[in-house]
Chains A and B, each alone.
Chain A
Amino acid sequence: MIDWTHFTPWTSLAGGVLIGAAAALFLLLNGRIAGISGILGGLMRPVRGDVAWRAAFLAGLLFAPALYALVTRIPAPTIEAGYPLLLLAGTLVGIGTRYGSGCTSGHGVCGLSRFSPRSLAATLAFMAAGFATVFALRHVFA
């Protein structure tokens, strides 16, 4: 059953186009993959000359809400997870993205954009786990 009340095909498509454009721009300008977990995780073993661009990309992400707020009001998100669940989820995301060498951006957007079978395998794995987890939370244990 489709949730038509929350379905936002056009803004989601437009947001996706911006995400893809940012990934393409970053590749062309800097020769880098726009993978957020990799950019962040790479700061944990700093190499000379490799820190500034990572920090600058993250600063761009952090500054995005301020720029967005200049144009229109930031929609309030709904976060159902409580603090203990957020701690568990964050830890799993941190460990998992480093062992799996990427997340939704690095594998899902950049990897699939260059038709990488490795990224397709990773994307299928994390999507499957995401579907299974939400199924368990919403329909088994709820």
Chain B
Amino acid sequence: MHAVGAFVAGLIFGIGLMVSGMTDPSKVIGFLDLAGRWDPSLAFVMVGAIVVGAIGYAVARNRTVSVLGGAMHLPAERRIDRRLVLGSLAFGTGWGLAGFCPGPAVVSLGAGQDKAVVFVIAMLAGMALYEIAEKHFHNGGK
């Protein structure tokens, strides 16, 4: 049942990304281009997602088990450290270069777009590099 819940959530998430315009890199870059002809649409995506998300999180706040059974897996980490900030800066740079972030890239892969295939392969390689680096330098992170 957990897999069914995850599939349905992923499906709705993906449809939402498509409807919102997030799967069009030129629209994402239009939002990030503050100094050019700025398209504020993606701020509306964030507002819609956060308002509805916050209601969901408020409802779930006092739950100790999920509806399908099993623990609530909420991140316990609260530190704002160098890894978080430098990692996020690197991510934002890549996001600005191509206009793809992970969710829309996976959805566009599902739509069979050549450029999304290349982007996702590079993204998986980047994630693999992280795993290799973590394995070699047990630097006390997570």
Contact = CB atoms under 8 A, between A and B. Distances in A.
A99 B65 CA distance: 29
A111 B15 CA distance: 21
B131 to A, nearest CB: 5
B5 A30 contact: yes
B99 A79 contact: yes
Nearest to B122: A90
Contacts, number: 500
Question: Helix, strand, loop or mixed for chain B's interface?
Answer: helix
B25 A77 contact: yes
Given A17-B48, A30-B66, A56-B7, A132 B96 contact: yes
Q: How large is the interface on B (under 10, 10 to 19, 20 to 34, 35 or more residues)?
A: 35 or more
A62 B102 contact: no
Question: Helix, strand, loop or mixed for chain A's interface?
Answer: helix
Central interface residue in B59, B84, B120, by most chain A CB within 10 Å = B84
Given A36-B102, A135-B33, A138-B35, A16 B49 contact: yes
A7 B98 contact: no
Q: How large is the interface on A (under 10, 10 to 19, 20 to 34, 35 or more residues)?
A: 35 or more
A67 to B, nearest CB: 6
Interface in A16-71: 16-34, 36-37, 40-41, 44-45, 52-68
Nearest to A98: B130
Nearest to B68: A29
Contact of B102 (A12, A21, A103): A103
B44 A12 contact: yes
Interface in B85-138: 85-103, 105-113, 115, 118-131
Given A31-B65, A31-B66, A36-B106, A16 B9 contact: no
Interface of A: 1-3, 6-9, 11-34, 36-37, 40-41, 44-45, 52-68, 74-75, 77-81, 83, 85-101, 103-105, 107-110, 112-118, 121-123, 125-135, 137-139
